[in-house]
Structure 1
Amino acid sequence: MRSIYLSVDTPRWTPRTESDLQSALDQGLLSESHYTDFKRGLTTGKSANRELARDLASFGIDGGTLVVGVEENRDGSFGLYPGPLHGLAERVEQVALTIPDPPLPVYTEMIPSDADPDVGYLFVHVPPSPAAPHMVDHRYFGRGDKTKHHLADAEVRRLHNLRRLSETDTLALLDAEFDRDPVPVERRSQAHLFLLAEPINGRPEMLLSLVSGREWPQRMLLFTRGAILNQPTSNLRFAPELLSATATARRAAGAALTSYDLTADRRLRDDSHDEDAVELEIHEDGGIRIFMSRLSDRMTNPDEQVVFDAGAVMYARHLIALVLAAADQAGYVGNWALAVGATNLRGRRSYEYRNGWDATDGPRFGEDTYRKAAVVSHAQLLATPGQVTGQLLARLLRALGTDDKFAPFLTDATESATST
């Protein structure tokens, strides 16, 4: 069962039984709000479907949950009214994906009644949508304190502008990471990879419990291993792996796991080689940063370095896994701004065009840097991590002529093995 956001004080509430739901109503924990709406039941027919679509669309901006099987009584209290569950979730999902424009992804979960498992309650979770606001019958919808309303043209323009600005702002954060490169300029011979994630509407200190307290190093190591090792099976292999970052260090914004090559104050050690530096940084406010300095390397040809596309793809998938784990840790189901960037790429070809160990063919990358940002929903991260990876890396792979080779990793299809 997914957590429900009720308020800043109660960011995570997970009902599992009819008794949980009744108890929350009795205690006043669960009530209609900007994030929650109740329906005694859902009637059928074209008109009812369009009204349901308007209700769902109103949650698209900030997210929320529609609870079917609860109604407000005349005295202001709330009561349980379990209804037939057969086909209800499928109908809601079909409405959400066919009537709002653009389509609105939702999650549905059922709690059967203790007395009769054929009736019960349906929770319809609407994550904040990166495509919001959503239109129904040529009108955009939002939500006030407790009810939906039509959005004025000015508000629609403002929301669309905010969506564009978020990607621009994310690229500015990526540029700041370029500036923070821990490898001194005079020692930079390889391409470096940078990845970041920021919750769009996260809460202050949403990951504070992960990066503070007496045993934060152990918690952070377990968190990272759990996120990466629990990924869907991927046959990509690349060194250095993110899990090679095992040394812990405090950072101004939170804490970090680093490889041996970086000092506690984020400097490349004098006795270290450029190619092995790795760092994962997690911020108290939910931000994630990853640095890896071996996106390119010399193989057998001392005069040419090759780009490891497989490393970029693997690390992008790791970023997505870490974001999902952070969202679960914080009970946050909102949108995320993601970005991937690389430096020192000009004139380099992909390792995939190798003859033996050397790259002997393939297009050379024509710019020094690569930068790409995307704003994605929690639903996209869960359901289509390959497509999200494609949003971040497909343009780089096309420029290197290897998009076909890595297509399975960008489309959530069966993945093939690639190692470096």
Structure 2
Amino acid sequence: MESRVAGQTVPMMPSTSFYLGPSRPRVHLGTWRELCAAADAGLLQEENQWLECKRDIPRGSDKSRELAKDLASLSVDGGVIVVGAVDKIGDATGLVGVATPEKLSDRISQVATAGISPPLNVVIDVVRDEQDPAGPVCLLVVVPASAGAPHMVDEKYWGRSATDKRVLADHEVRRLLAERTSRVADFEQQLRAMKHDFEPFGEHARNFGHIYLFAKPVMAPSVQVTQVLAPQHPANWIGEFLPGKPEFYPGFTMLGHGVPHAEGLMVTASRPDAPSGGEPGLLQLLLDDQGGIRVTSGSGTRKNGGERCISPNYHLELAHQLVSVSAGILNHYAASRGLWDIGVHATDLRGLKSTFAMNEEHYRYSTWPFQTTDYTCTISASTDEMLDATAAVVERLYGRFARGLGLDTVLFPYDTFAQIGQRVPQGHQ
């Protein structure tokens, strides 16, 4: 199976499950065999709030607008469109396939970004029978629950009924907008509370700035991953999804000591009863029972030649690892591809310069101190964005932070984990 995100084709994992209603178990559609099994069981014959089936998507502006409405309607709670499947049929499978899957994928992506307001991120999985290269090919158009929902087409907001798309009433739009605002505010409150609730050093005992990172799935997965992972050594389930070896600081590779915690699986860089490295060596991670991950680091600021400063490379490496590991665990162990809230709260930054300003080779990039005491940012991203466009997610999370150090054009954009802190802006080569 292949997947297309923003026009790029990337390999996808074979186990992809979808929520198709409260009376049904999650349905696996990630492979041709699973898709056929779902069709044989009649699971594709009745469209509902989370599922739509289409034989094809013909060309034409009217058809594109209808597709845009379908996509927008599914964005409220998330869902999937199976293209190349005939619904409400009585034959064996009803999987007729599509003639030109690549061209159709491009057209669907264009409709999602240009025909909907605000633009919608969708993931298009190409599902084919590996045993029959000449056989039919279907598309799974995955619409994660959107942080921007409700979405508008033809100046109307769209949602779903039990069987089809429909125009949302004004009171429904107001409710959805209020729920979105409330969810984001609640998440930021939980993020800020980490400096008290997930912090071994008392406030008056801290001599360095700390980093608090939080990634939380909007909808809890159907599988409690903490139970699945509990028998494994923490280094295994963390290391399985690390993006690479850190260039500057160890980060998540330091985590290896399991610590009992009421809310899930906690891992630290050193044993709490025998700490090493003091406050700068503090690094702890908690995977909670809902699939969220919280991280606390005592190296939000550090000393260089006796002077306190900020290492933006460390901040970005830690955030990149959080995004990659969080999405990797839920996608692999719970087949969850929904929406996430992701946030950072970094403390005690005011008046400090970056390590770039302390390095003779790089000081010319920026000598400006950070102007605010703390840095807080919350964003939303889908699992597929976190896996396939990790650097772009980190840029949304830390873009203003880099700007505050005068390093926005130095640190971003980057493509891979190994490129963090390695870019040289034009004019400095």
Shift of residue 72, structure 1, vs aligned partner? 3.1
In 1, distance between residues paired with 2:25 and 2:309? 50
Q: Which residue in the other structure is 2:144 paired with? A: 127
Q: Which residue in the other structure is 2:5 paired with? A: none
Structure 1 residues 314-393: aligned runs within 5 Å: 314-328=317-331, 329-355=333-359, 362-393=367-398
**Aligned match for 1:289, one of 285, 288, 294:** 294
Shift of residue 184, structure 1, vs aligned partner? 2.7
**Aligned match for 1:188, one of 206, 214, 233:** 206
Kept in 2: contact 1:205–1:284 (CA 8 A): no
**Aligned match for 1:396, one of 387, 395, 401:** 401
Shift of residue 342, structure 1, vs aligned partner? 1.4
Shift of residue 10, structure 1, vs aligned partner? 3.2
Q: Which residue in the other structure is 2:263 paired with? A: 253
**Aligned match for 2:119, one of 62, 87, 103:** 103
The count of corresponding residues between Structure 1 and Structure 2 is 402
Structure 1 residues 11-30: aligned runs within 5 Å: 11=26, 13-17=28-32, 19-30=33-44
| Residue 55 (str. 1) matches residue 70 (str. 2) | yes
In 2, distance between residues paired with 1:313 and 1:115? 44
Kept in 2: contact 1:62–1:334 (CA 8 A): no
In 1, distance between residues paired with 2:246 and 2:30? 37
Kept in 1: contact 2:264–2:287 (CA 8 A): yes
- After superposition, the C-alpha distances for 1:338-374 in whole angstroms (9 at most, x for unaligned) are 1111122232221210146998982333333221111
3-state secondary structure, aligned to 1:82: coil
Q: Which residue in the other structure is 2:226 paired with? A: 208
Go from structure 1 to structure 2 and tell me whether the alpha carbon gap of 1:28 and 1:185 turns closer, same or farther (over 3 Å shift). Answer: same
Shift of residue 224, structure 1, vs aligned partner? 0.7
Q: Which residue in the other structure is 1:138 paired with? A: 155
In 1, distance between residues paired with 2:269 and 2:89? 62
Q: Which residue in the other structure is 2:249 paired with? A: 238
**Aligned match for 1:36, one of 46, 51, 56:** 51
Kept in 1: contact 2:211–2:346 (CA 8 A): yes
Structure 1 window deviating more from structure 2 (312-321 vs 37-46): it is 37-46
- What is the letter of the counterpart of residue 221 of structure 1? A
- After superposition, the C-alpha distances for 1:58-93 in whole angstroms (9 at most, x for unaligned) are 111111111122223466996333342353222222
Shift of residue 406, structure 1, vs aligned partner? 0.9
- What is the letter of the counterpart of residue 262 of structure 2? A
- What is the letter of the counterpart of residue 400 of structure 2? R
In 2, distance between residues paired with 1:106 and 1:187? 46
3-state secondary structure, aligned to 2:108: helix
3-state secondary structure, aligned to 2:116: coil
3-state secondary structure, aligned to 2:376: strand
Shift of residue 112, structure 1, vs aligned partner? 4.1
Shift of residue 163, structure 1, vs aligned partner? 2.3
Go from structure 1 to structure 2 and tell me whether the alpha carbon gap of 1:188 and 1:84 turns closer, same or farther (over 3 Å shift). Answer: same
In 2, distance between residues paired with 1:413 and 1:357? 22
Q: Which residue in the other structure is 1:70 paired with? A: 85
Shift of residue 298, structure 1, vs aligned partner? 2.1
Flag structure 2 segments of 5+ consecutive residues without an equivalent.
2-11, 424-429
Provide the TM-score with structure 2 as the length reference: 0.84
In 1, distance between residues paired with 2:271 and 2:277? 6
Q: Which residue in the other structure is 1:405 paired with? A: 410
Kept in 1: contact 2:346–2:374 (CA 8 A): yes
Shift of residue 27, structure 1, vs aligned partner? 2.3
Shift of residue 323, structure 1, vs aligned partner? 2.0
Kept in 1: contact 2:348–2:373 (CA 8 A): yes
Go from structure 1 to structure 2 and tell me whether the alpha carbon gap of 1:24 and 1:237 turns closer, same or farther (over 3 Å shift). Answer: same
Q: Which residue in the other structure is 1:266 paired with? A: none
- What is the letter of the counterpart of residue 327 of structure 2? L
3-state secondary structure, aligned to 2:413: helix
Shift of residue 182, structure 1, vs aligned partner? 0.7
Kept in 2: contact 1:211–1:284 (CA 8 A): no
**Aligned match for 2:171, one of 133, 154, 178:** 154
Shift of residue 201, structure 1, vs aligned partner? 1.6
In 2, distance between residues paired with 1:101 and 1:285? 31
In 2, distance between residues paired with 1:326 and 1:413? 18
Q: Which residue in the other structure is 2:426 paired with? A: none
Q: Which residue in the other structure is 1:298 paired with? A: 303
Using CA pairs under 8 Å that are at least 6 residues apart, name the structure with larger relative contact order, 1 or 2. 1
Shift of residue 397, structure 1, vs aligned partner? 2.1
Kept in 1: contact 2:68–2:112 (CA 8 A): yes
3-state secondary structure, aligned to 1:90: helix
Structure 1 window deviating more from structure 2 (243-252 vs 93-102): it is 93-102
Go from structure 1 to structure 2 and tell me whether the alpha carbon gap of 1:12 and 1:316 turns closer, same or farther (over 3 Å shift). Answer: farther
3-state secondary structure, aligned to 1:84: coil
Flag structure 1 segments of 5+ consecutive residues without an equivalent.
264-268
Structure 1 window deviating more from structure 2 (315-324 vs 342-351): it is 342-351
